[in-house]
Structure 1
Amino acid sequence: MNDYLHNTIPNLKPFNYDHHHDAHFINKPWVLVNGISKKKSIYTFKADNVLEISRKDNVIKTTWNINIQNSFSIETEDGKITVKAFFKDDDILVLNNENKEEFAMYINVSNYDDDINSVEDIQDFLKEKYKKKVSTIIYDHEFYYIEKSKEFGPYKVEVLAEKVNAGDISAYCFVRDVNEHDYSNRMRIEDLLHEL
């Protein structure tokens, strides 16, 4: 992977045929993020190696192929390009051009209720997506809390919320994740509750 791509979008997972191809890639509506402020384009990679590119009332059909090294060849309006595919998450696809320092980012909108037609819509999508992800992580995780110089836990956030609501502990008690060694991040129970 080129350094510029890794520096721009960290923690990318390479395309894995067994994991991604059928479940996350084929027949999914991928909205192109690049240039969305000028025109919206939806890319759908079909199982028969047909690539449909939809723009307003116009649908262009072209071809795509994948080789053994998971490199994709895509026929575009500008000619044939070779790209490597990466996933940021199962619904964020990045195609990195192997011959130039450029990439295209796509969002799978099949599990998203609202239309994505602008940069603001993309920001809303990402905000909602990662808010749900943070809430899930926080909800499933366990935390210690410290009160009057004594440490208690670990507890899940729902248990901490019950203790706060019952008046057993203060919402201003510091907490630390079970994987942290101290309270230096200065997070309080109240901060966890705001993320749920």
Structure 2
Amino acid sequence: MKTYAADIIPKIERFSQKLDNITMLVNHHWVVLDEASQTKTVYIFRNNGQLLISVNGRVQKARWEYLGNNAILIDLHDESYLFRHGFFDKNVLALKVDSANEYAVLINESRYRADLNSIAAVLDFLSLTYGEDVVPKLQQPHNHHLPITYYITLVKESYSLRMGAYREYKVRLSGGAVFTIYKKKSNGKFFFYHNREMVQFSNKSSCIEYIERVAG
């Protein structure tokens, strides 16, 4: 499986399910995230220890075993792979390669079809859902470089003729002011409406800095 470095995983581990929650793991279709490959690989963990691996519809059989202590052993052909707990919820399964700071990232197929189809999308989803940057420290450009603190919450995903597919977030600044910002799915850019004009930003930090400067 392709593996990735993902610094956010240890920071949100407290929100994770444990790997011994077998009911969340088995009989779901977990898509292995591999952006460099054009193939679609699906892992299906079964109660009897059988692991079905579907590559573009062609299935091979392997074995898996939960070893306790949040570790999983996968036997494939003549090789065995040991993975440890990284992060686990109903959408994302991140398995840490033993003795390495890298993760194999698998997505529940129901979410993979929707929007979790790249490592960037997964990291963004985890950050916004579990608050890796719930209280980030940014440099305020107009007030003696005091830190800007805020809370951000995903409200909904929707579509409009003007923006196309987008996500809507509520942002609450530390002073109590609440604003709505948007993220366009096609290019990942953020938007904020100010004086009835849509102002576009390349990233979330720039958007919130602007809000603090002109509207906070």
**Is contact 1:97-1:103 (8 Å) kept?**
yes
Structure 1 or 2: larger strand share?
Answer: 2
For 1:43 and 1:77, locate their aligned partners in 2 and report how far apart those are by CA, in whole Å.
Answer: 15
Query: What's the CA shift for 1:26?
Result: 1.8
Where structure 1 has 5 or more consecutive residues not aligned to the other structure, the ranges are 146-153, 159-169, 173-183
Q: What are the Cα deviations for residues 70-104 of structure 1, in whole angstroms up to 9, with x where unaligned?
A: 21111124511211022165422222222556532
In structure 2, relative to structure 1, the CA distance for the partners of 1:157 and 1:9 (3 Å cut) is: same
- Deviation string 1:144-194 (CA, Å, 9 cap, x unpaired) is 76xxxxxxxx46558xxxxxxxxxxx957xxxxxxxxxxx945359999xx
Q: What is the aligned-residue RMSD (CA, Å)?
A: 4.3
Deviations 1:40-68 (A, max 9, x none): 21111112211110011310111111122
Shift, 1:39, TM fit: 2.5
User: What corresponds to 2:211 in structure 1?
Assistant: 187
Identity of aligned residues (%): 20
CA–CA distance in structure 2, aligned partners of residues 144 and 12 of structure 1: 22
CA distance, structure 2, for counterparts of residue 112 and residue 40 of structure 1? 11
Letter in 1 for 2:62: T
Going from structure 1 to structure 2, the CA distance change for 1:109 and 1:125 (only over 3 Å counts) comes to: farther
Query: Which residue number in structure 1 is paired with residue 80 of structure 2?
Result: 80
Read off the aligned partner of 1:187 and give its amino acid letter: I
CA contact (8 A) 1:6 1:12 kept: no
Alignment correspondent of 1:70: 70
Give SS of 2:68's match. coil
Say which structure is richer in helix: 1
In structure 2, do the counterparts of structure 1 residues 187 and 89 end up closer, same or farther at CA, with 3 Å as the change threshold? farther
Cα offsets for 1:6-57 (capped at 9, x unmatched)? 6474525265146x4323x222211111365242211111122111100113
Query: Is 2:91 the partner of 1:91?
Result: yes
- Partner in structure 2 of residue 161 of structure 1: none
Which residue pairs with 2:154 in the alignment? 135
